A = this chain, B = another copy of it.
Amino acid sequence: MKTRVDAVTAWESLFRAQVAVMRTIAAEFPSRDISLNEYDVLFNLTRQPGRELRPRDLNRHILLAQPSLSRLIDRLAGRGYVEKLPDPTDARGTIIRLTNAGFALFRRVAVEHMGSITARVGSRLDDDELAELAALCDKLRGDA
């Protein structure tokens, strides 16, 4: 069956490309104040209205086990980059909100980080290819 092989091949290519790009980007990642996973949490918070999200929802976007994310959030909170608020609609839950300090840190890091991405990704593919790649990956993710 042809599709079986193609699916595995496509995943293999995507995975290796991710490894190759991630290696460059991680090596160039700025700031000793924050790790890539921590940055990713800040990034996801900036994309939400009010810059806040419950851990459970954050966890859907981030490749970390729930306890790991829980501790990562505690570390960010300890440094003042996020704050933990009680969820009025669910007494079990917590709301993680990006602080001004966290947003400032994000913006400072994001500029340089996006420069790395642009240099590494933008140099290999042209605009049409980038758009095509994004469309295929969005379809593959299937959150649409």
Contact = CB atoms under 8 A, between A and B. Distances in A.
* Copies of the polypeptide in the assembly: 2
The 5 A-B pairs at the shortest CB distance, nearest first, are namely: A7-B122, A17-B137, A13-B137, A13-B134, A10-B130
B18 A18 contact: yes
Contacts of A134: 6, 9-10, 12-14
A133 B3 contact: no
Interface in A1-37: 2-4, 6-23
Contacts of A3: 118, 122, 126-127, 130
Contacts of A142: 20, 124
A34 B129 CA distance: 37
Interface residues of A, number: 48
Interface string A101-144: 00000000000001001100110111101111111111111110
Interface of A: 2-4, 6-23, 61-63, 114, 117-118, 121-122, 124-127, 129-143
